Structure 1
């Protein structure tokens, strides 16, 4: 049964399940909806990324910011947001010039880069320069792939849970609006993407609700290899598909 263009009811159900898992992960760890859900959504249907996922991630960050607002330290976030402006502009220019096949190649490459950053073991200091660089990289990657978590997560990996969830939510909210502006400008955000968002946001609501129950129980580190493995497989699949189509 076709619901939208080439999207079936089964694909919508699977997309909601992927978003539920990613939203629950982000509610617990501070990031993860992109790292987990984007590769799965790409495998379900490329139409589900990037704009529908970015819209869902924006909704989730609003919920998370409200939940963790007491731990927010906005002075630390402003540099990352400033870097995000440059990342969004570069992403918009990239999307304006690439073909569908080129998008697959860039998507796959950036997903693999995100996995490499996540397992690389680097621990950069949380300072203004690194915040600007991480903000730019996260917004660029988040606009094109909806996976913007790894660069910004690197500079927050030594901070405490409530601060991480609050500050990263504030950054992701600003970065999401920058990404949506870039997607709209480059023609990647329209009526179809909005309808797909409406069809899939229930998964985000359920996942966020579940994260409140699991925030002190979910073994994030134990799940990390599985999440990165899924991302790597999907990233490689996208890269190969794009290269074969060139």
Structure 2
């Protein structure tokens, strides 16, 4: 396995399992929780290997929650996602490794700010398109695309949230993978890392099926956002120190 130890792989699988379980319960979270942890374990685990894992997870979730899907609500977010993909691809094409750490840290902290900012936008076409663009842009670069799209679904019921957000994340993941491929961030190494870490998704998804009606997301939210803030700050400081 390239540039990563067995211990790091075990820790990576546990981090992905925790994020997959969270997303299975709340509708999003594999990026918000797993990406900061994976960055601390090894930056090579981001973004493509986690985006590949998130794609697998959204397929599982969409199958589980398909009865609650309302695709008409998702189409505007998907349209915005195309714009986000193009902007993310352009950003990645000009980023150096140092620049990646800087923008990674900034976007994670922006995601945390969105999550705690108290914004409550309505679920309509314009807000869906904006959230879709922001979510896909952030998801492509950092694998954390949940906060923008979660804002417009925060007042909706659980099954609808899990179904519609899974449908959006599935399309957004393919858009992100397209941008990562053409910008040189998705290749053989990333597929190897995905193959070594997808068991974490299987474990987390299985656990979420047993916890979905037992664990209130709001109790976990401060811990998740705290982890994201620490990792985002670490990435930002690391990028600044290497300038």
TM range (shorter): over 0.9
Match of 1:131 in 2: 128
Q: Secondary structure of the residue that 1:147 maps to in structure 2?
A: coil
Structure 1 residue 66: Cα displacement: 0.2
Structure 1 residue 89: Cα displacement: 0.5
Structure 1 residue 5: Cα displacement: 2.1
Normalised TM-score (structure 1): 0.98
Q: Do structure 1's residue 198 and structure 2's residue 195 form an aligned pair?
A: yes
Match of 2:139 in 1: 142
Q: Secondary structure of the residue that 2:215 maps to in structure 1?
A: coil
Structure 2: segments with no counterpart, 5+ residues: none
Match of 1:187 among 184, 189, 206: 184
Match of 1:207 among 204, 207, 220: 204
Equivalent positions of 1:106-117 (< 5 A) are 106-117=103-114
The separation in 1 between residues aligned to 2:218 and 2:79, in whole angstroms, is: 30
Match of 1:85 in 2: 82
Q: Secondary structure of the residue that 1:211 maps to in structure 2?
A: helix
Match of 1:95 in 2: 92
Q: Do structure 1's residue 21 and structure 2's residue 18 form an aligned pair?
A: yes
The separation in 2 between residues aligned to 1:220 and 1:175, in whole angstroms, is: 23
Q: Do structure 1's residue 176 and structure 2's residue 201 form an aligned pair?
A: no
Aligned length: 243
- Aligned structure 1 segments of 4 or more residues deviating by more than 2 angstroms: none
Match of 2:214 in 1: 217
Structure 1 residue 20: Cα displacement: 0.4
Structure 1: segments with no counterpart, 5+ residues: none
RMSD: 0.4
Q: Do structure 1's residue 37 and structure 2's residue 34 form an aligned pair?
A: yes
Normalised TM-score (structure 2): 1.00
Deviations along 1:41-60, one digit per CA (max 9) or x if unpaired, are 00000000000000000000
Structure 1 residue 219: Cα displacement: 2.4
Q: Do structure 1's residue 154 and structure 2's residue 151 form an aligned pair?
A: yes
Match of 1:69 among 66, 70, 75: 66
